[in-house]
Amino acid sequence: MAHKGSAESRRPDFRVARSKLPESLGAAVDAFERHLAAERGLSAHTVRGYVGDVVSMLGHLVDSADDAVLAVLDISILREWLSAQHAHGVSRATLARRAASARTFTGWAFRAGLLSIDPGPRLAVPSKQRKLPAVLRADQAGAAMRASAMGAEQGDPVALRDHAVLELLYATGVRVAELCGLDVDDVDREHRLIRVIGKGDKERVVPFGLPADQSISRWLSAGRSKLVRESSDAALFLGVRGGRLDPRAVRRVVHDAVGAVSGAPGVGPHGLRHSAATHLLEGGADLRSVQELLGHATLATTQLYTHVTVERLKAIHDRTHPRS
């Protein structure tokens, strides 16, 4: 197959504007996007990630092949696409994600009759190293909650909201998008349960403890009514303008609260989720239960937290055992 060089193919991120793809490739991207959203039920954020990777891949196809049609996409073009990115310093984790996006796309295209052979299964990258997530110690998490509670004592509605956000995140380990998607009716305070819509529109029920219940009670009784703009707004947590709370605001809340704790690692909402899972396991919870609480599709994802716990045990042993 003849190839052509171009300045575009040497750019570090190899992305071309979606609108600049040939019409046939653009139509394939549109159909793939509809498949991800409608048939697989993926979140808008996940769909954007898949589509962005596929646009990058097809942009490389346009720059590499004389005949820029989907039918010529083969394993050599896929490998060239990843190799070129690797040469420009793209991380192994990002390469693994992009390869997964490419395999998903080629599998769909093959089933849809757009490719005669699926090259995706032959595309491999070095396995992604799984880094141990940064987590708070239980005392650090408690200190962050206490600091937040002190800020809420004055009755400021934003401070009341922020304290309830922190308590609920740590109590349940929900994802930030799941927290922001909660409605008032999703909270069963009598039984201390929340109904969460997770990835793939999967619903689960997660319990929470008394501190979270108390903070939610104060937010609902003394804070929420001061921020809500429309009586019909169902969102549990609101922004300062009265609409549903934005995930970016939640990240700021968590960073500020944890940043006030001396010696605590810098973590955001996902770090608080890691911390909740780790503390559950350290307290004796079994993996299957933690998997259900966190909404993990597979137990393998949850097992990462056992490594965190083991690392903690090793550190304690090294610090305290006379023959460590």
Task: List the catalytic residue out of 35, 98, 175, 224.
Answer: 175
CB atoms within 10 A of CB 272: 26
Residue with tokens 């039918």: 71
Do the Cβ atoms of 59 and 8 come closer than 8 Å? yes
Residue 181 CB-half CA count within 13 A:
13
DSSP secondary structure code for residue 126 in this structure: P
Task: List the catalytic residue out of 35, 218, 273, 279.
Answer: 273
Distance CA 75, CA 107 (A): 13
Q: 255 an active-site residue? A: no
User: Among 136, 173, 212, 170, which residue's Cα sits nearest to residue 293?
Assistant: 173
Element (H, E) at 151: helix 138-152
User: Among 34, 26, 37, 30, which residue's Cα sits nearest to residue 70?
Assistant: 26
Task: List the catalytic residue out of 86, 192, 270, 312.
Answer: 270
Q: 305 an active-site residue? A: yes
Class of residue 233 by CB neighbours under 10 A (exposed 0-12, middle 13-18, buried 19+)? middle
By residue count, the chain amounts to: 324
User: Among 114, 44, 49, 102, which residue's Cα sits nearest to residue 78?
Assistant: 102
Residue 38 CB-half CA count within 13 A:
6
Q: 20 an active-site residue? A: no
Task: List the catalytic residue out of 161, 224, 274, 296.
Answer: 296
Q: 296 an active-site residue? A: yes
Task: List the catalytic residue out of 192, 199, 226, 244.
Answer: 199
Distance CA 305, CA 296 (A): 12
Lateral strand order in the sheet of 187-188: 187-188, 193-197, 203-207
Task: List the catalytic residue out of 50, 60, 163, 305.
Answer: 305
Q: Which is it for the CA torsion 145, 147, 152, 157, positive or negative? A: negative
Catalytic residues: 175, 199, 270, 273, 296, 305
